[in-house]
Amino acid sequence: MADNRKYYYLKLKESYFDDDSIILLESMQDGILYSYILLKLYLKSLKHDGKLQLDEHIPYNAQMIATITRQQVGTIERALQIYEKLGLVEILEDSTVYMSNIELFIGKSSTEGERKRRARNGNIKQKQLGGQMSTPILDICPPEIEREKEIEIEIERELEKGHHTQFYGKYQNISLTDEELEQLKQELPSLFESYIEKLSEYMASTGKTYNSHVATIRRWAKEDVSKNTKGSQRANKGEVRNYDYKGNNSL
């Protein structure tokens, strides 16, 4: 029986990655990762016309998005904040995440239509090669699944080219590349772990986010050194005895 169900797929123009918002996104700390997540969210929103929803009534929250994209909740929360600032997503009144400009990327087809199209293309190619094709070999994989696989492969290759980022701290919300972690180990050999935990707890309790976790840790460490230095100077000044005397006062 013919499968006439509708399938949705993502149509990306060749200039997609040349858009200003995407260039700015990828220039940020962990920008390639955020770009990868964005494409996944576009794909997940297709069947609901750009809305990230489990069904018609239940919108995805940050925890649910983290689960379906296989990322940390903190990463998703930061990504959504960045997307909103860049105009890539819109948070609706009911907290539903809407993927902006999704109408430019949505394609629709059916498996039946895809089979016929591929059969035609296969026969044309076979004739061009001068061969015979008695029974066309058909791939009935829905096009949106194909595109998602292609995107994942492409972005994973890009991630492999860059620095490998991992998450640290009690709440797994501190993102550091392997290189950044090694730098902290060298700069703060006995303190880097305590600073990571301190930042992890502070972000989890306050909800604050930072563009660069390694830069924040370095700034905190410098501030602590400055405070300790000033405290030592004050203490030393307090310990200096006054040997001055007036008149007949003896030492």
User: Where is the domain boundary, 162, 189, 208?
Assistant: 162
Co-location of 42 and 9 in the same domain = yes
Co-location of 138 and 176 in the same domain = no
Co-location of 120 and 137 in the same domain = yes
User: What is the domain extent for residue 115?
Assistant: 1-162
Q: What is the pLDDT of residue 250?
A: 42
212 close to 29: Cβ distance less than 8 angstroms: yes
User: Which one is predicted more confidently, 72 or 142?
Assistant: 72
Residue 71 confidence (pLDDT) above 70 = yes
User: Which one is predicted more confidently, 238 or 226?
Assistant: 226
User: Which one is predicted more confidently, 3 or 172?
Assistant: 172
Tokens of 136: 């066309």
Co-location of 14 and 132 in the same domain = yes
Residue 103 confidence (pLDDT) above 70 = yes
The residues, ordered by sequence, that sit 6+ positions from 172 with a Cβ below 8 Å of its Cβ are 72, 74, 200
Co-location of 151 and 223 in the same domain = no
Chain position carrying tokens 């090694």: 182
Number of domains in the chain: 2
Q: What is the pLDDT of residue 4?
A: 46
φ/ψ bin of 70: left (φ > 0), alpha (ψ from -120 to 50), beta (otherwise): left
pLDDT digits (tens, 9 = 90+) for 19-37: 888 899 988 888 899 999 9
Residue 3 confidence (pLDDT) above 50 = no
The residues, ordered by sequence, that sit 6+ positions from 45 with a Cβ below 8 Å of its Cβ are 51, 52, 53, 97, 98, 99, 102
Co-location of 91 and 170 in the same domain = no
User: Which one is predicted more confidently, 12 or 145?
Assistant: 12
Distance, C-alpha 26 to centroid of its chain: 10
Residue 198: pLDDT band with limits 50, 70, 90: very high
The residues, ordered by sequence, that sit 6+ positions from 209 with a Cβ below 8 Å of its Cβ are 74, 77, 78, 81, 203
Residue 114 confidence (pLDDT) above 60 = no
User: Where is the domain boundary, 134, 162, 190?
Assistant: 162
User: Which one is predicted more confidently, 104 or 176?
Assistant: 176
pLDDT digits (tens, 9 = 90+) for 200-214: 899 888 888 887 899
**Cα 48 to Cα 45: distance, rounded to the nearest angstrom:** 6
* Residue 6, amino acid: K
Co-location of 137 and 183 in the same domain = no
